[in-house]
Structure formats: C-alpha cells, structure tokens
Amino acid sequence: MALLEIREVTKRFGGLIALSGFKLEVQQGEILGLIGPNGSGKTTTFNVITGFLKPDGGKVIFEGEDITGLQPYAIAKKGVIRTFQLANLFFDLTVLDNVLIGFHNLSKITMLDELLNTRSRRKEKKELLGRAMEILQLTELDSHKEKLAKNLSAGWRKTLAIAVALAANPKLLLLDEPVCTLSPARVASIINLIMKVRDSGVTVMLIEHNMRAIMDYCDRIAVLNFGKKIADGSPERVKRNREVIDAYLGM
Amino acid sequence: MKPLYRFLSFFLLIIFLILLPQLITKDYYIHMLVMAGIYSMLAQSLGLIIGFTGQVSLCHAAFYGIGAYISALLALNFGLPFWITFWFGGIGAGVVAYLFGCLVLKLKGHFLAITTALFGIMVTLILDNWTELTKGPMGLPGIPNPSPIQLPGVKLQFASRTEYYYLILVFVLLMAFVIYRIIHSQIGEAMIAIRENEEVAQSIGINTMRFKLAAFSIGSGFAGVAGSFYAHYILFISPISFTLPESINILVMMIFGGMQTFVGPIVGAITLTFLPEFLRMTGALRLTLYGLALMLLIIFLPSGIVGAIKEKWFSQYEKS
Ligand SMILES: Nc1ncnc2c1ncn2[C@@H]1O[C@H](COP(=O)(O)OP(=O)(O)OP(=O)(O)O)[C@@H](O)[C@H]1O
Ligand SMILES: [Mg+2]
C-alpha cells in the first residue's frame, strides 16, 4: 500500500483549472520530486494534500485513510507536515522558540500539569529542549539559535522552516522549493539533510521548478504541466521524456 | 541566586500592597485603588486575547457587563450572595464568549474587530431595551454587598473600601497567577504561535480555532468576574458602564502598559486609572492633555511601557 495516494484530484480557481485529474502515489521511504514550470499546480497539490485547500474533485488517502477535506491541523497531526514556498515562520520569535513550538503535538503533559508546573512538566520541557538542540545541530542552525527568525537570511529561513517541520514529527514531509534561491554550498547541505531525514524513516516529497537541481537525489520524479501529470518515473526516464522536454523548452 | 531575588521582590511587593491602605488617608484614593484593581483584571484578561493570541476583541466591556448583570440579577431576584454569583458571572460571560467565538473567530484582523465592536453595541442595546429584566437605562440599584466572611483572626464585613481593596487584590493575584501559568504553558505557546503566524501554526498541527476559543472564553470569563465584583462594589449598575467607549478604554490601558507582556496591562490599568486624577490640577485642559499623552505614548512606545523596558533590556543583553 502506498503511504499517500492522490486520486484524480481536480482543483479550480474560478475559470482556471489548477489541477485536473491528478493521480499520484507516494511510496513509503522514497524521495519523490514534484516538478513543473511556474503555475503548473505544484503548490496547489501541497495545499490540497495538507487541507489548506479543498479539492473540487478526487480524494487524498494517507495510510489507507481518506483525509480529504480534513482541517490542516488534523492532517498535520496524522504526520503529514509541509513547509511553505516563501519560508513562512514565526518571524518575531527566536530560532529556538520556532523549533520548540514545532513540538506542540508531541507533548504528553496535561493542562493540570501545566497549571501546577509539576515535575513531569519540567522534565518534559528539558527533554524537548534537548531534542530541539539536536534538530538545530542537524540543520546547522545551532549558532543562530538566539536570533529572531526575521533576522535570518533567506537561505537560513528555508532551513529553519525545515527544522520546524522536523520538530513536528513527520511521517511524510512535504517541502515546497527547499533549495530555490540558496547558495550552492547551502544547496548541498540541505540535500544532505534531506537524505539524512529520509534515512531516518521519513518519506519526503519535494517541489522544485529547476529540474536539474534535484534530479540526482530523487528516487522518482513526477512532472506537472498546466495541472496535468505528464510524466512519472525514474529521473533518467523523465529526463528523456519528449513531453517533459517540450514543457521545459516552452517555458 | 536569580529565583531568590525574584521571590524576594515579589514578597516585598505583596507586603507593600497589603500595607498600602494604611499609607493612604483619603478614602477616595482607596476607591481609586479598587477601580485600578478592577481595570487590572479587565486589561490583563484582554491581554490574553489580543496581546498573546492576536485576536482583536472590541467587546471586552460587554463581557464585563454580562458578568455584572448576571451577578446583580441573581443577587436581586434569588438573594444569592456574591460568593456564588461571581462564579455565575464569570462562567456565564465565558460561555457567551465561547458561543459568540464559534461564530466569529474564523474572521481575521479588521473583520474581527468590527464584528466584535458590533457585538458590544448589540449587548448594550439588549441591556437598554430588555426592560422587564434589566430595567433598561434606569439600571439596577440595591445590589447587596458581599456577605461578611470570617477569616482566621479577622471578620470581613465589606462595609469599608479597604475591605474591598483586599478582596480585589486577592482576585487580581489569583487571575494573574492563572494567566501567568497559561502563557508559560504549551497552551500559551500555541496562542503565541497563532498570533505570530496562523498558517504555520496549523501546518504543525495546532488546532488554531480551539486555542482562539480558549483565549477568548477565558479572557472574557475573567472580565465577567470583574463585572460581578463591580456590581457588588458600586451596588448599582446600568448599561452606560459597559459600552464601546469602555471597551476602548480597557484596550488603551492594555496597549499603554504593553500588551505582549505579562505585567504590562496591569501597569497600564493602574497608571491610567490614576493619571486623569493627577491631571486634575490642569483644570479644563485635563481630558485634552490625557488624550494627548496617550497618543504620544502609543506613537513613540508602540509596545507599551513594560514592552519598551523589556526591549531595552533585551538589546543590552544581546550586545554583551
Ligand atoms: N488561492 C488561489 N487563488 C487563485 N488562483 C490560484 C490560487 N493558488 C494558485 N492559483 C493559481 O493556480 C495555478 C497553479 O498555482 P501553483 O501555486 O500551484 O503553481 P506552482 O506550480 O506552485 O508554481 P510556482 O513554481 O510558481 O510556485 C497558478 O495559475 C496560480 O495563479
Ligand atoms: Mg509553488
């Protein structure tokens, strides 16, 4: 069984058809690249999967369960965590606080523990702080941890968005253009991070509109053009696909 | 060392607050202190809604009024004492806020502000026009004092303003404790996340509606308790005390002190309860000066007094 199944999803914005009959399966443990020219419906796909948009037709199935039309928070709770294309963050909070808030759903303490500031609450706080530090080290953000998110450069903001998503304990991680606008050194480091995340058992789906940037790192690639899937397969096969070449030359 | 220092200063503050009425000779100033206590409750509970959760509510005085009327009506019609009515006032205001919140907390920014302002106006209209129940603009006179209570060593009669002062002090401290624990908990963390970026909050699994509702009902519930206290202190209520200008007044206190801080709204409430009194010596210009002072402060210290102090402190700490 596929981890995620997108069944014939259609999404319209007025007269514009952003997705039409889009079908895709995401297998457990793979890195799947979703590529396509500007406006081809990639971000819309993420918005439909994560409940930020309701599809006009079709279904989204996660771990065999129909999650179409659930609230974004409910889908996130099931383990589908996304980042936003424009590195959306808690800008006025520190890097560390951004990650700590990411743990929101992991806590096991109750309201009563909170009100009475019990020992188990303090113990959990300490544990989460430790895990936050691990994530910051993994993402190389540890030297920035006291900075406010808004004072980070664009590249580090993207990295922080991934760190926050990792804190939320994803089974399926959806990254919207994680390496776009980054310096080559940072790109290498983010790709390295994504591989590590996958190796720890998280399935990754990532959007990129620059095909070459991610080609070599994806297990599989799906290509969207004007809301329709025009190719789906190994990077080598997709690279040679006539329709894909035309779509990209037509850009 | 630091927790000890904090504990000591807190301890000294409490001692000071307990001794304060002994230092004041004029009964009128004790009355001002009681009012400052009521406004502290109102401003800090509004701070939970606006300052920490980012949901602009312009109907705080309406919940203050709902608490006051529930309490007064229960006391006048069923002879219930304040010790029971204030629970109904608080919970009643909280429940109304919850139901109203379910309808409007989906709205954001200006839309939420306007809708809550309209709700406040609607509550005033109901209080004014449902004359069989509320006696309309005539108001409700003859609300009883809190019944005497026997504490170890002292009996509180609620015949003097000083006794009310101690009662509101306990109320403010209890509320402040609850709000402090909320904002330093995961619940507070989720509220701040919603204020900072609702979309990201949702994307990491925060049920934003639930926390917005929690902030709105808890904050409005405390306003209801403040209303009960007011009713059993002034012993007369009428709709005019709970109108939109009063909501704005509470809002200004909260902003003035620093809405994103814990103590800011209380500092704002105390300062702005007394400031008009101190400006009294300027005679006819008094309210103009008051308005001018507020405007200048909001322009130059947008994060409020306590907010500005914290920022200053923080930037020094960052440099070192
Ligand atoms: N909320 C919306 N309302 C109206 N139109 C929208 C909305 N979101 C997306 N669209 C339109 O749907 C189409 C697909 O947009 P989408 O954001 O999914 O593209 P994309 O593949 O992510 O492109 P890019 O590479 O530029 O990020 C575009 O034409 C876009 O203008
Ligand atoms: Mg996009």
- The reply to whether A179 and A75 lie within a common domain is yes
Q: For residue B210, how many other CB atoms are within 10 A of its CB? A: 13
Q: How many CB pairs under 8 A join A and B?
A: 85
Q: Which residue type does A191 have? A: I
With contacts defined as CB-CB under 8 Å, which chain B residues touch A102?
204
Instruction: Report how far ligand 2's centroid is from the alpha carbon of A42 (Å).
Output: 5
Q: B177: which residues sit within 8 A by CB, 6+ positions away?
A: none
Residues A164 and A176 both lie in one domain: no
How far is B16 from B177, CA to CA, in rounded Å?
18
CB contact under 8 A, B200 and A88: yes
Q: How confident is the model at residue B320 (pLDDT cuts 50, 70, 90)?
A: very low
Confidence of residue A250 (pLDDT cuts 50, 70, 90): low
Q: Which of B106, B192, B200 to mutate to test the interface with A (most CBs of A within 10 A)?
A: B200
Bridge partners of residue B155, in order along the sequence: B150
Residue B299 CB contacts under 8 Å (≥ 6 apart), including other chains: none
Our answer on whether the CB atom of A16 is closer than 6 Å to any ligand 1 atom is yes
- Residue A141 domain flag: yes
Q: What is the CA angle A6-A37-A197, rounded to 5?
A: 55
Q: What is the mean pLDDT of residues B17-35?
A: 89
In a domain, A218, yes or no: yes
pLDDT at B84: 95
Please state the atom number of ligand 1 nearest to the C-alpha of residue A41.
18
**Residues A38-48: pLDDT tens digits?**
899 999 999 99
Domains and CATH numbers, chain B: 28-319 (1.10.3470)
Inter-helix orientation angle B60-78/B27-46, to 10°: 120
Distances (CA, A) of B213 to B55, B103, B107, B216: 10, 10, 12, 5
Given a contact cutoff of 8 angstroms between Cβ atoms, the answer to whether A172 and A3 are in contact is yes
Q: Is the pLDDT of residue B302 over 90?
A: no
Out of B178, B196, B206, the one facing A104 most closely (by C-beta) is B206
> Does A91 fall in a domain?
no
Q: Quick one: which ligand is closest to A225's CA?
A: 1
Secondary structure of residue B207 in the 3-state scheme:
coil
For the stretch B148-164, pLDDT in tens is 888 887 888 888 888 89
The boundaries of the domain holding residue A153 are 96-169
Q: Are B266 and B300 in contact (CB under 8 A)?
A: no
Residue B90's CB is within 10 A of a number of other CB atoms, namely 27
Task: Report yes or no: A91 at the B interface, CB cutoff 8 Å.
Answer: yes
Domain-ending residue, one of A169, A184, A205: A169
Q: Is the CB of A42 under 6 A from ligand 1?
A: yes
Q: Is A44 in the pocket of ligand 1 (CB under 6 A)?
A: yes
Asked whether residue B286 carries a pLDDT value surpassing 90, the answer given is no
Domain shared by A175 and A249, yes or no: yes
Contact B43, B264 (CB under 8 A): no
Position A236 in a domain: yes
**What is the rounded CA–CA span in Å between residue B201 and residue B189?**
10
CATH number of the domain at A190, please.
3.40.50.300
- Indicate the pairing of strand A4-13 with strand A16-26: antiparallel
User: Contact B192/A109, CB-based, under 8 Å?
Assistant: no
Q: Are residue A142 and residue A131 in the same domain, yes or no?
A: yes
Q: Which of B93, B69, B83 is nearest to B241 (CA)?
A: B69
- Identify the band that residue B303 occupies on the pLDDT scale cut at 50, 70 and 90: confident
The pLDDT of residue A251: 47
Ligand 1 mean position to A213 CA, how many Å?
Answer: 21
pLDDT in tens, A167-199: 999 999 999 998 887 888 888 888 889 999 999
Query: Could you tell me if A110 and A123 lie in one domain?
Result: yes
Which of A136, A169, A202 is where one domain is finished?
A169
Q: Which residues in B have their CB inside 8 Å of a CB on A?
A: 178, 181-182, 185-187, 189-190, 192-193, 196-197, 199-208, 318
Q: Is residue A54 part of a domain?
A: yes
CA distance linking residue B18 with residue A124, whole number of Å: 37
Is A184 in the same domain as A241? yes
Of ligand 1's atoms, which has the minimum distance to the CA of residue A53? 1
Residue A93 has pLDDT above 80, yes or no: yes
The chain-wide mean pLDDT, for chain A, equals 89
Judge whether A73 is closer than 8 Å to chain B, CB to CB: yes
3-state secondary structure of B81: coil
d(CA B245, CA B239) in angstroms, rounded, equals 12
What digits encode the pLDDT tens for the residues A9-24? 999 999 899 999 999 9
Atom 25 of ligand 1, residue of closest alpha carbon: A38
Closest CA to A66 of B208, A58, A206: A58
Residues A174 and A75 grouped into a single domain: yes
Nearest of A5, A20, A32 to residue A204 by alpha carbon: A32
Higher pLDDT, B96 or B304: B96
Q: Report the residue from A72, A114, A164 with minimal CB separation from B202.
A: A72
Q: Is the pLDDT of residue B57 over 80?
A: yes
pLDDT at position B39 is 97
Least confident of A210-214, B35-39, B59-63, B103-107: A210-214
- A136/A21 same-domain check: no
- Of A81, A91, A92, which has the smallest distance from its Cβ to B203's Cβ? A81
Residue B9: its pLDDT value, please? 87
Q: Provide CB contacts within 8 A for A199, sequence distance 6+.
A: none
| CB spacing of A104 vs B207 below 8 angstroms | no
Neighbours of B311 (CB within 10 A): 13
Q: Is A138 on the interface with B (CB under 8 A)?
A: no
Residue pair B255/B268 in contact by the 8 Å Cβ criterion: yes
Q: Record the pTM.
A: 0.91
Residue position matching structure tokens 């991610």: A214
Sign, Cα dihedral of A134, A139, A143, A147 = negative
Same domain, A158 and A176: no
- Do A177 and A140 belong to one domain? no
Nearest chain B CA: its distance from A6 CA (Å): 19
Given a contact cutoff of 8 angstroms between Cβ atoms, the answer to whether A194 and A217 are in contact is yes
Residues A65 and A114 in one domain: no
Higher pLDDT, A105 or A151: A151
pLDDT (0 to 100) of residue B319: 44
Could you tell me if residue A155 is inside a domain?
yes
The alpha-carbon gap from B59 to the nearest alpha carbon of chain A, in Å, equals 27
Who's near B28: CB < 8 A, 6+ residues apart? Answer: none
Please report which confidence band the pLDDT of residue B54 belongs to, taking 50, 70 and 90 as the band edges. Answer: very high
| Last residue of one domain, picked from the residues A134, A169, A204 | A169
Our answer on whether the CB atom of A20 is closer than 6 Å to any ligand 1 atom is: no
User: Could you say which DSSP state residue B154 is in?
Assistant: E
Residue A222 and residue A155 in one domain: no
In a domain? residue A89: no
- Structural Rg of chain A based on CA atoms: 19
Residue A121 within a domain:
yes
CA pair distance B159, B153, nearest whole angstrom: 17
Q: Give the side-chain half-sphere CA count within 13 A for B226.
A: 32
> Residue A84's pLDDT is what?
94
Q: Are A127 and A155 in contact (CB under 8 A)?
A: no
State the pLDDT at residue B316. Answer: 60
Residues B256-267 have pLDDT tens digits of 899 999 999 999
Q: What is the 3-state secondary structure (H, E, C) of chain A?
A: CCCEEEEEEEEEECCEEEEEEEEEEECCCCEEEEECCCCCCHHHHHHHHCCCCCCCEEEEEECCEECCCCCHHHHHHCCEEECCCCCCCCCCCEHHHHHHHHCHHHCCCCHHHHHHCCHHHHHHHHHHHHHHHHHHHHCCCHHHCCCEHHHCCHHHHHHHHHHHHHHCCCCEEEEECCCCCCCHHHHHHHHHHHHHHHHCCCEEEEEECCHHHHHHHCCEEEEEECCEEEEEECHHHHHHCHHHHHHHHCC
More confident residue, B112 or A235: B112
3-state secondary structure of B148: coil
Cβ neighbours, 10 Å, residue B142: 9
For residue B136, give the DSSP letter: G
Query: What distance in Å separates the CA atoms of residue B164 and residue A186, rounded to the nearest whole number?
Result: 64
Give me ligand 2 centre to Cα A99, in Å. 24
Provide the domain count of chain A: 2
